[in-house]
Structure 1
C-alpha cells in the first residue's frame, strides 16, 4: 500500500496487517467469506477493501464506497498496485446516504497524516466538536441510496457491510432499508457519537437485528464498533 510510514500511528498496524483485526476475528464466527459480496462503506484508501478482497476469493467481490476525492486517488493507486486483489474491487466514488443526488461534505486533503479519514457529510453527528474540523474544506459530493443502487442493478446486494462514515451511519442505514430487510447482511460499523448509537440501534432493532459491541476494551466515551446480525424473533 502507498503509505507514509511516518504519518498516522495506525499506518504501522496496516503495514503489519494487524489493523482492526477484531473485525476479521468477529466475522469468522459467521462463516466463510469466499464468494461473498462485501460493501466497504467509507473505504478510505483501501486497507479494508484489499483485506476483504483477499477473503472473498476470485469468485467474490468488494464494493468500495468513498466520496473524498483525495482518498479515492490513493485508493485507486492501491488497487492498481495490488493487481490480483484489485480485480475483485469495484470503486464507487460517492457517499452512501439517505438520498440520491449530492450533498455538502467536509473534507481534509491530507491523506498521509490520517486527517482525511475524518471527512464527513455536513449533517453527520461527528465524533469531534466542530472546531476540530476548522481546516477542512467544504465540497459537494455525489450521494446514493443503497436501495437505489441495488434496485437499478448497479451493484450486487451485500452479504457483509462494513460502515465507517464519521457520524453518518444512520443516513447509510436509512438509505439501505430495503437491502437490509430483504438481504439481511451482517453489519460491522464504527459508531462515532453517543446519540448516533441510539439512532443506529433503533433502526436495526426495527429490522430484527441484534447488536454486539466489538473490541470493547478499546471503546471510547464517544465511539465504539458494533456488529449487527439478523435475528428474527
Structure 2
C-alpha cells in the first residue's frame, strides 16, 4: 500500500491528466469514466487507472509536470506508474537542468522534432538572446508553433541526410509517435495518415556565421539520418546534442547503436553520456544499454 504522500501525488497527477483529457473532446466520456474509477479506488487501483490515463494522452511522454504547471511534483515510484513514464520524467528534468547550467543567455539552439514546443519554451527561458530554430514536419503542429513562438524560426520540414520529398506516417491520435517510417507503438493505432513532406540537411541550411550551442533530436528512430545530414555542422560548432535512441524506433530504420555512436564519437568528436551523468559510454557499453531497453535519452558533448 502506498503511503499518504504517494496517494496525494497520484491524485494531483490524476487531476492534471483528467484536465488534459477533457480538453480533447473526443475522449471526454472516457475521462469521466476513468475519474469514476479513481473515486472508487485505493492505491493499487489509482496506479492502474493513472497508467490508463497516461496511455490516452500520448503527449504526456513529451511534457514534464513542470511544463504544465506542477513543478513541485516529484517523479512517481516504479510501483505507481510504468517505468518508462518515470524514466522520461527524470530525463526531461535533467535536460532542463542541463540547459539551465550550460547555456549562456545568447546560446543558439535547435529543436529537431519540436512537436508541441516543450523545449522551445525552455530555449526562450534560458537563452532569450539566442537565435533558435525548430523543425516540425506535421503541418498542424508547425503552424501552432509559429503562432505560439513568433520569435523562433519554425520550419515545416524534417531534417534528414538528403534534400527533397519523403513520405511521412502521421498518427492523429498519437502524434508524438509520427515519423518518416512506421515504428513500434504503445497502443493499437486507429488512424494513420500518409503525408508527403519536405526534407533537408542541416549542413546546407544552418547559417555559416551563426554558432550552434545545443541540438535536441527527437525523431522517432530517424536520428542517424539527422546526424548524417548535420555532421559538418556538428564538427564545426561542437554543440551539446541531446538525442533519443531506443528499441522500437531506431531498429525500424535498420539503425544500430554502432551507427549513432560512430557518427557522434568518431565523426563529430563528441562523447556520449546518459542523462543520469553516466559515461562517457564506450561503443560496447552503448550497445548494451540499447539492448537492455531501459533508457532511450542521451547527451553527447565534447
Q: What TM-score do you get using the length of structure 2 for normalisation?
A: 0.61
Q: Between the two structures, name the one with larger relative contact order (CA 8 Å, sep ≥ 6).
A: 1
Gaps of 5+ in 1: 80-85
Q: Work out which of the residue numbers 104, 107, 128 in structure 1 matches 2:167.
A: 104
User: 1:60 offset after TM fit, Å?
Assistant: 0.8
Correspondence list, 1:60-99, <5 A: 60-79=130-149, 86-87=150-151, 89-99=152-162
- CA distance in 1 between counterparts of 2:213 and 2:259 reads 22
User: 1:25 offset after TM fit, Å?
Assistant: 1.5
- CA distance in 2 between counterparts of 1:222 and 1:141 reads 32
- CA distance in 1 between counterparts of 2:210 and 2:227 reads 17
Q: Work out which of the residue numbers 203, 207, 211 in structure 2 matches 1:147.
A: 203
User: 1:130 offset after TM fit, Å?
Assistant: 11
Say whether 1:16 aligns with 2:81: no
Residue correspondences, number: 208
Counterpart residue number, 2:194:
138
User: Is the Cα contact below 8 Å between 2:217 and 2:244 reproduced in 1?
Assistant: yes
Counterpart residue number, 1:179:
233
The secondary structure found in structure 2 opposite 1:33 is coil
More helix by share: 2
Say whether 1:191 aligns with 2:206: no
1:121-142 alpha-carbon deviations (Å, 9 max, x no partner): 12x7x3x169955622111101
User: 1:68 offset after TM fit, Å?
Assistant: 0.9
Gaps of 5+ in 2: 1-18, 25-56, 72-88, 278-289
User: Is the Cα contact below 8 Å between 2:158 and 2:197 reproduced in 1?
Assistant: yes
Sort the Cα spacing of 1:196 and 1:23 in 2 relative to 1 into closer, same or farther, 3 A.
farther
1:68-123 alpha-carbon deviations (Å, 9 max, x no partner): 112213323422xxxxxx42x1101100100011111101234xxxx11111012x
Q: Work out which of the residue numbers 20, 26, 48 in structure 2 matches 1:5.
A: 20
The secondary structure found in structure 2 opposite 1:103 is strand
Aligned-residue RMSD, C-alpha: 2.9
Q: Which runs of 4+ in 1 moved over 4 A?
A: 129-134
Counterpart residue number, 1:46:
117
The secondary structure found in structure 1 opposite 2:191 is coil
Counterpart residue number, 2:107:
36
Q: Work out which of the residue numbers 167, 172, 175 in structure 2 matches 1:116.
A: 175
User: 1:27 offset after TM fit, Å?
Assistant: 3.6
More strand by share: 1
User: Is the Cα contact below 8 Å between 2:109 and 2:123 reproduced in 1?
Assistant: yes
